Amino acid sequence: MASSRSLHTVHLAAFGAGNVVGLGVMSMAGIGVGITGTGLWLAALVGGLGGAFALVPQLLASSSGDYPGGQYQQVGTLLPPVFGGIVAYILCFLVFDISAYALSAAQLLGLPTLPTRLTAALVVALFLGVHMLGARIAAIAQLVMAVLLAAALGTYVAVTMPHVRLANLAHYTFLGSPLAFLFACVYMTFMMNGVAGVANYAAVADRPRVTVPRAMRVSLLLVVVTYALICVADAGALPIAQVANRDLAVSLSAFVPAPVTVAFVVGGSAFALLTTLNAAVGCMAYPVASACADGWLPRELGERSARTGAPVRLLSVGMIAAECPLIAGNSAKTVSSSVTILMIVVQAMVAVAALRLILRDGSSLCAFRSLPLLGRVPQSGLAALCIVALLVDLLLIAWLLYTMNRLLIIGNVVIFAITVVAAVIVNKYRVDTRP
């Protein structure tokens, strides 16, 4: 097999940031300003801090050993194997995220329903096909799209920031009760959680114990700074009455011609969606391929190409699964949203796994010395940080349960039940076929 461990920090950071910055970046600031006031940029910073706490266990787990299976293998190794099976089956449902992102991207073209779904199906085929060519090709595509997305968002900040007025930011800094500001902080923390997905690219990362944690830190910092700048620019360039509950196009259109605004909205939205879609493919494929080798799914399904190093068969099955709801006209978005809570559950399991690692094996602290700041924290401090991270995850789960409608809550519960039952049954009879 050709060596596929060729992704460096810059590639992984592009996947991490892309996994966070989705279509919501266009409306996040305006909605947030309408809820909490012009001090939304403070909520972005607090959310970044919350995201950093939530990320600690993932940093510790990723630096403690070589886990090509990412979150699946970390949980399955540091906790009883059945928990790893649950994670693997949850990650399988990310295929519907791919469908949902492709459909949202196609809808930007404003076509009728049938052409929109056919376009989305082509987008799915294109991106899974790119991953079949190998992780390096997919990473280059991610870098190109991330640069274009950064250019779009950077243009917005560069154009609007000179017009920011302190008076606009000082008025209506906080609307409503402190609970509204707390709500915004939790929302920002939730939005920044996607950087943990970089752990699932360990199978194709060069020196994963170093590059994966570093990429998570870099991508989180990039996202926090980007969101804070966008919030300041959107809330400060115009009076709050003009931007509250409106997307970024409103503030940008006040300073540039209409064609520039249209190009920003369409281009920025498209690349925000496509970078998230591209990142989701690898977040699913590599951990699930590792689970195949461990007997949770047919081994042949996870075999990686000798030429490209990609799990081509698994990606082919994923392509078929992602195309089905698009062609049939079913709502992939509903199924996709029905896994939202479960991805936080995965992070909570990683937090418990990291805590168990620290408490069980004090010598494992040597593995964390390369981590800035965390490498100097004593064992009790690392354990406390893992507990804080777990509490943040539980807060996010409670927040999602509060904000979701009944259908999506039921969807999360049903899918979780399916994964648990499947993992318990398969764990009794599976044979670990890893060489």
pLDDT tens digit sequence for 55-105: 999 999 999 888 999 999 999 999 999 999 999 999 999 898 899 899 988
In whole angstroms, how far apart are CA 37 and each of 8, 48, 166, 231? 40, 18, 14, 10
User: What's the pLDDT band for 1 if we cut at 50, 70, 90?
Assistant: very low
Whether 410 shows a pLDDT value over 80: the answer reads yes
In whole angstroms, how far apart are CA 8 and each of 132, 198, 205, 386? 19, 12, 6, 27
Which tens digits make up the pLDDT trace of 257-301?
Answer: 999 999 998 899 999 999 999 999 999 999 999 999 999 999 999
Q: Report, as an integer, the average pLDDT of 205-218.
A: 94
Whether 363 shows a pLDDT value over 70: the answer reads no
The CATH topology of domain 9-423 is: Amino acid/polyamine transporter I (1.20.1740)
In whole angstroms, how far apart are CA 249 and each of 234, 260, 274, 318? 10, 10, 20, 35
Q: Report, as an integer, the average pLDDT of 386-411.
A: 90
Task: Give the residue extent of every domain in the chain.
Answer: 9-423
What one-character DSSP code corresponds to residue 199? G
Weakest-pLDDT range from 186-195, 252-261, 271-280: 186-195
Which tens digits make up the pLDDT trace of 18-63?
Answer: 999 887 788 888 888 888 888 889 999 999 999 999 999 999 999 9
Residue 288 CB neighbours (<10 A) = 29
Give 391's contacts (C-beta < 8 A, 6+ positions apart).
Answer: none
User: What's the pLDDT band for 2 if we cut at 50, 70, 90?
Assistant: very low
The identity of residue 225, as a single letter, is V
User: What's the pLDDT band for 360 if we cut at 50, 70, 90?
Assistant: confident
Secondary-structure percent of the chain, ordered helix, strand, coil, rounded to 5: 80, 0, 20
Query: Using N-to-C axis directions, what is the helix angle for 258-293 and 9-20, rounded to 10°?
Result: 110
Give, for 427, the enclosing helix (H) or strand (E): helix 406-429
Helices vs. strands in the chain: H and E counts, helices first = 20, 0
Give this prediction's pTM.
Answer: 0.91
pLDDT of residue 16: 95
- Measuring CA to CA, which residue among 84, 94, 67, 69 is closest to residue 426? 84
- DSSP, collapsed to helix, strand or coil, labels residue 7 as strand
pLDDT of residue 133: 95
User: What's the pLDDT band for 143 if we cut at 50, 70, 90?
Assistant: very high
pLDDT of residue 289: 96
pLDDT of residue 118: 93
What one-character DSSP code corresponds to residue 80? -
Q: Report, as an integer, the average pLDDT of 360-375.
A: 67
